[in-house]
Structure 1
């Protein structure tokens, strides 16, 4: 028989853990499901400087602090990749690759994943010089030359981190200016280990002996092609929502993000969505936590409404 909960939170990043905290503190039975370790992308962040309460904290350390807090009122944690949610009206069925659950409400907190460049050599050298996580793989490139592709916050933050390990970090950006926050730009431009190649696209990632040797780039203004010798390539060119399992619910935008109101509820009653999986402008730990608090309280109100409806019907 399927296991029953009041609330199932799909995803144990900062938003999911906050939602589990609020819901379980309201005396609801809560299950957090995740296909990996709790913390989400925080585990891939070397240093977090913009989360209130900490001047600076390592991503994995903040993940552990949040997890301990989120489970203190009885919320459970389980591994599993969600394959489908079925809306049964006042109940929902959540099917994973490992088990099936019944619940009154669902909070989707699956986040997003890094977008690939889609160029020749990217898949070939993935894990052999091509990476999407400087914290995970930066140590392999100590005293070497690495390329960072992108110009947003993630690209520049991780590029700065890599300068602690690599001899040189070359940032390749398709525009003529960065999109990262000004404080990050200032740090990057002041770092003598960082250099910038503007108005350029990566055409191919090259290598030999099963490891990266360089990247072929093309200037999108002049059409000139060149080769940059490098030992590693770190790619930060955007994110994609992890929503494939929810297509049957008709709650996604044309771009695949989950559409919600300001109370985090989708158009399907009892199904909420929070954090980086939502169609919103700012995707940060703080905004995910805020979403989680709203949704955690929202599921309590929703379940109270269900109880009231049951009582009314029973009269």
Structure 2
């Protein structure tokens, strides 16, 4: 028996009960109900489903409770006192799943559904990798292209990284997306929880980048999620440029300062290249305004984000999220 074959036979089989699905929701109870129905109908099921409610004021609590007896797995519901954004929600969700003892944590927003054998598809790769991203269908059923590679020194996604897969069925990645990230607790222990200071945007890219520094992170050719919310977008061929909001525009620019802090901490910060990445991000958001949202209003939020980011970047007391080990 070859060494490679021997290593293959010693890999620990994936146990679905060792996984926890973590969902972050905010005032979208109808979408959440669709996701919970898809989890209820999924086989196999995870050991836990963790719902983090970012202080919703709709009927989210009632919707969640209506699934408690029929979901077929342990449901954990946490309603936060304030809206902590996606970043804070996923940080709390991952902490909860970690404390529950989950070996695998599968993160997702409330505007997706899982395919019937989604967990089995992800589990197929679990013996080989510890940071895995599956694929998802867009609202119209077409394959969604996700930018899985980051130009590290610039801190921005590579928009036209190859979309196709070879016979291996996976591609190395150095980014992450909380709409489908499947990560092992050993990696979470090393890099800590997602950073809630981001509030929204760039948090999952940075977290996936941190994970890729600890293990071989991959995107696999497995469709496991379907997006259930239609978003206005500009079709650019290989990828789409989605509509945004004033809040997103602000955090897109402000949170560049947090990326800068993480890069400095890990010794990969290049002022010239990172500055170029920030400039390209600003230009991309202007293009989004013009071609997707058909307006020039909103640029003030970009400038405000840059201004507040400069103040964050000067904070000498800043520290990264601590490891959990």
TM range (shorter): under 0.3
Q: Greater strand percent: which structure?
A: 1
Q: Greater helix percent: which structure?
A: 2
Length-normalised TM-score, structure 2:
0.23
